[in-house]
Amino acid sequence: MSKKKEINRREFLRKVSMAGAGLYLAGCSRQSPVMLPTPIASAKTATAAPGGPQTEIQNSAETTPAYGDVYLSVVRGEDPAAMTMRAIAAIGGIEQFVKNGADVIVKPNICTDYYPYEYGATTNPQVVAAIVQLCLGAGAKRVRVMDNPFSGTALSAYKRSGIEEAVIAAGGEMEVMNNNKFRKNEIPDGLDIREWIFYQDILDADTVINVPIAKQHGTTRLTLGCKNLMGTILNRGQIHANIHQRIADLTSRVRPALTVVDGIRTLMQGGPTGGNLDDVKMSNTIIASADVVAADSQAATLFDLTGTDIGYIPAAAAMRLGTMDLNAIKIEEFSL
Amino acid sequence: MNAKITRKLRQASQITFFALFMVLFVQAVYLGASPLESDLFYRLDPLIAATAMLAGRTVIAGLLYALINLAAAFVFGRVWCGWVCPMGSVLDWVSPKKVRHGREISGRWRTVKYLAFAVLIAAAGLGNQTGVITDPISILTRTMTTAIWPALRAMVFGLEGFLYQFDFLWPALDVIHANVLLPLFQGIESVFSAAIPIFLMFSVIIALNWAAERFWCRYLCPLGGMLGIFSRRAILRREVSDACTDCGLCARECPTGTIDKAKGYASDPAECIYCYDCAADCPVSAISFPAHAPLRLAQKQAYDPARRDVLWSVAGAVAGVSLLEVETITRREPERMIRPPGATLTDFTKLCMRCGECVRVCPTQGLQPSLLEGGLQNILTPRLVPRLGQCSFTCSACIEVCPTGAIPPITLEEKQHTAIGLASIDQDRCLAWGYDTICSVCEEICPLAEKAIRQEEREVKDLDGNTFTIKLPYVLRELCIGCGACEYHCPAGGEAAIQVKTLPSTEVVIRGI
B103-127 pLDDT tens trace = 678 888 999 999 999 999 999 999 9
**Is A273 in Cβ contact with B445 (below 8 Å)?**
yes
**Is A270 in Cβ contact with B395 (below 8 Å)?**
no
Nearest Cα of chain B lies from the Cα of A82 at a distance, in angstroms, of 31
pLDDT of residue B62: 85
Q: What DSSP character marks residue B103?
A: T
Range list of β-strands (E), B409-452? 422-425
Cβ–Cβ pairs < 8 A, chains A and B: 82
> What whole-number distance in Å separates Cα of residue B372 and Cα of residue B380?
8
**Is A276 in Cβ contact with B440 (below 8 Å)?**
no
Range list of β-strands (E), B313-381? 367-369
Q: Which of the residue ranges A52-66, B264-278, B469-483 would you say has the lowest mean pLDDT?
A: A52-66
Residue A8 touches chain B, beta carbons under 8 Å? no
Nearest Cα of chain B lies from the Cα of A113 at a distance, in angstroms, of 7
Q: Which of the residue ranges A13-17, A22-26, B166-170, B330-334 would you say has the lowest mean pLDDT?
A: A22-26
Nearest Cα residue to B472 out of B428, B422, B421: B428
Contacts of A236 in chain B (CB under 8 A): none
Q: Give yes or no for residue A41 having a pLDDT over 60.
A: no
> What whole-number distance in Å separates Cα of residue B407 and Cα of residue B399?
6
**Structural domains of chain B, count:** 2
> What whole-number distance in Å separates Cα of residue B360 and Cα of residue B138?
11
**Is A160 in Cβ contact with B444 (below 8 Å)?**
no
> What whole-number distance in Å separates Cα of residue B54 and Cα of residue B350?
9
pLDDT of residue A55: 40
Domain enclosing residue B24, as ranges: 3-151+191-288
The answer to whether residue B311 sits within a structural domain is: no
**Is B485 in Cβ contact with A156 (below 8 Å)?**
no
More confident residue, B38 or A130: A130
Most distant pair of Cα atoms in chain B: their distance: 104
pLDDT of residue B301: 87
pLDDT of residue A37: 65
Nearest Cα residue to B372 out of B203, B504, B197: B197
**Is B444 in Cβ contact with A273 (below 8 Å)?**
yes
Test mutation, B157, B394, B446, chain A, max A CBs within 10 A: B394
- What distances in angstroms separate CA B352 from CA A88, B126, B371, one per listed residue? 57, 14, 15
Q: Where is the domain boundary, B265, B288, B311? A: B288
Q: Which of the residue ranges A153-167, A308-322, B28-42 would you say has the lowest mean pLDDT?
A: B28-42
- What distances in angstroms separate CA B65 from CA B50, B256, B353, B403, B490, one per listed residue? 12, 27, 16, 12, 45
Nearest Cα residue to B41 out of B10, B87, B82, B78: B87
Residue B397 touches chain A, beta carbons under 8 Å? no
pLDDT band at residue A11 under the 50/70/90 scheme: low
The answer to whether residue B107 sits within a structural domain is: yes
Facing B485 at nearest CB: one of A151, A155, A237:
A151
The answer to whether residue B49 sits within a structural domain is: yes
- What distances in angstroms separate CA B360 from CA A59, B363, B468, one per listed residue? 57, 8, 47
pLDDT of residue B39: 87
> What whole-number distance in Å separates Cα of residue B488 and Cα of residue B24?
29
- Average pLDDT score over chain B: 91
**Is B446 in Cβ contact with A273 (below 8 Å)?**
yes
Mean pLDDT value of segment A145-153: 90
Same domain? B80 vs B224:
yes
Mean pLDDT value of segment B351-376: 93
Distance of CA B279 to the CA centre of its chain: 35
Facing A153 at nearest CB: one of B187, B438, B491:
B187
The answer to whether residue B313 sits within a structural domain is: no
The answer to whether residue B354 sits within a structural domain is: no
Contacts of A2 in chain B (CB under 8 A): 167
Facing A151 at nearest CB: one of B182, B445, B449:
B445
| Burial of B156: CB neighbours in 10 Å, binned 0-12, 13-18, 19+ | middle
Residues 211-250 of A with CB under 8 A from B: 217-219, 237, 240
Q: Which residue of A has its CA nearest to B485?
A: A151
**Is B164 in Cβ contact with A156 (below 8 Å)?**
no
Q: Give yes or no for residue A19 having a pLDDT over 60.
A: no
Facing A180 at nearest CB: one of B160, B439, B440:
B160
In which element (H, E) is residue B282 found? none
> What whole-number distance in Å separates Cα of residue A7 and Cα of residue B473?
46
Q: Give the dihedral sign, CA B331/B337/B339/B344.
A: positive
- What distances in angstroms separate CA A40 from CA A21, A36, A134, A138, A225, one per listed residue? 12, 9, 18, 16, 20
Same domain? B426 vs B282:
no
**Is B447 in Cβ contact with A275 (below 8 Å)?**
yes
Q: Where is the domain boundary, B261, B288, B315? A: B288
CB atoms within 10 A of CB A210: 28
Mean pLDDT value of segment B136-147: 96
Contacts of A112 in chain B (CB under 8 A): 447
Q: Give yes or no for residue A51 having a pLDDT over 80.
A: no
Contacts of A150 in chain B (CB under 8 A): 445, 489
pLDDT band at residue A18 under the 50/70/90 scheme: low
Domains of chain A: 51-335 (3.40.50.11440)
- Average pLDDT score over chain A: 85
Residue A197 touches chain B, beta carbons under 8 Å? no
Nearest Cα of chain A lies from the Cα of B160 at a distance, in angstroms, of 8
**Is B438 in Cβ contact with A114 (below 8 Å)?**
no
> What pTM did the predictor assign?
0.86
Residue A276 touches chain B, beta carbons under 8 Å? yes
**Is A270 in Cβ contact with B449 (below 8 Å)?**
yes
Q: Give yes or no for residue B64 having a pLDDT over 70.
A: yes
pLDDT band at residue B32 under the 50/70/90 scheme: low
pLDDT band at residue A43 under the 50/70/90 scheme: very low
pLDDT band at residue B512 under the 50/70/90 scheme: very low
Nearest Cα of chain A lies from the Cα of B484 at a distance, in angstroms, of 11
Facing A113 at nearest CB: one of B394, B449, B455:
B394
pLDDT above 90: percentage of residues in chain A:
70
pLDDT of residue A53: 38
For residue B82, the SS3 value is helix
CA atoms within 13 A of residue A319's CA, in its CB half-sphere: 28
pLDDT of residue B35: 59
Nearest Cα of chain B lies from the Cα of A223 at a distance, in angstroms, of 12
Distance of CA B60 to the CA centre of its chain: 18
Q: What DSSP character marks residue B236?
A: B
Same domain? B278 vs B136:
yes
Nearest Cα of chain B lies from the Cα of A140 at a distance, in angstroms, of 17
Contacts of B491 in chain A (CB under 8 A): 237, 240
Amino acid at A110: I
Question: Which letter, b or e, does each residue of B176-208 get, where b requires 16 or more Cβ atoms within 10 Å of its Cβ?
Answer: ebeeebeeebbbbebebebbebbbebbeebeeb
Nearest Cα residue to A109 out of A247, A259, A221: A259
Q: Give yes or no for residue A170 having a pLDDT over 90.
A: yes
Facing A114 at nearest CB: one of B182, B447, B450:
B447
3-state secondary structure chain A: CHHHHCCCHHHHHHHHHHHHHHHHHHCCCCCCCCCCCCHHHHCCCCCCCCCCCCCEECCCCCCCCCCCCCCEEEEECCCHHHHHHHHHHHCCCHHHCCCCCCEEEEEECCCECCCCHHHCCCCCHHHHHHHHHHHHHCCCCEEEECCCCCECCHHHHHHHHCHHHHHHHHCCEECCCCHHHEEEEECCCCCCCCEEEEEHHHHHCCEEEEECEEEEECCCEEECHHHHHHHHECCHHHHHHHHHHHHHHHHHHHCCCEEEEEEEEEECCCCCCCCCHHHEEEEEEEEEECCHHHHHHHHHHHHCCCHHHCCHHHHHHHCCCCCCCHHHCCEEEEEC
Contacts of B455 in chain A (CB under 8 A): 218
Mean pLDDT value of segment A161-185: 95
Residue A65 phi, psi (nearest 5): -65, 140
Amino acid at A294: A
Most distant pair of Cα atoms in chain A: their distance: 54
Q: Are A106 and A117 in contact (CB under 8 A)?
A: no
CB atoms within 10 A of CB B175: 10
pLDDT of residue B506: 62
Q: Give yes or no for residue B326 having a pLDDT over 90.
A: yes
pLDDT band at residue A38 under the 50/70/90 scheme: low
The CATH number assigned to the domain holding B490 equals 3.30.70.20
pLDDT band at residue B513 under the 50/70/90 scheme: very low
Provide the pairing of β-strand A173-174 with A142-145: parallel
In which element (H, E) is residue B343 found? none
Q: Are B477 and B506 in contact (CB under 8 A)?
A: no
> What whole-number distance in Å separates Cα of residue A134 and Cα of residue A132?
5
**Is B178 in Cβ contact with A237 (below 8 Å)?**
no
The answer to whether residue B34 sits within a structural domain is: yes
Residue A273 touches chain B, beta carbons under 8 Å? yes
* Long-range contact set of residues B5-11: C-beta below 8 Å, sequence gap at least 24: B6/B276, B6/B279, B6/B280, B7/B275, B7/B276, B7/B277, B7/B279, B7/B280, B10/B82, B10/B83, B10/B274, B10/B275, B10/B276
Residue B487 touches chain A, beta carbons under 8 Å? no
Mean pLDDT value of segment B136-144: 96
Mean pLDDT value of segment B357-366: 92
The answer to whether residue B221 sits within a structural domain is: yes
Q: Where is the domain boundary, B222, B256, B288? A: B288
Distance of CA A165 to the CA centre of its chain: 22
**pLDDT tens digits for range B182-240:** 989 887 788 999 999 999 999 999 999 999 999 999 999 999 999 999 999 899 999 99
| Contacts for B289 with CB less than 8 Å, ≥ 6 apart | B236, B237, B238, B239, B274, B279
Contacts of A149 in chain B (CB under 8 A): none
Residue B423's DSSP bridge partners are B500
Residue B454 touches chain A, beta carbons under 8 Å? no
From first CA to last CA, the distance across chain B in angstroms is: 80
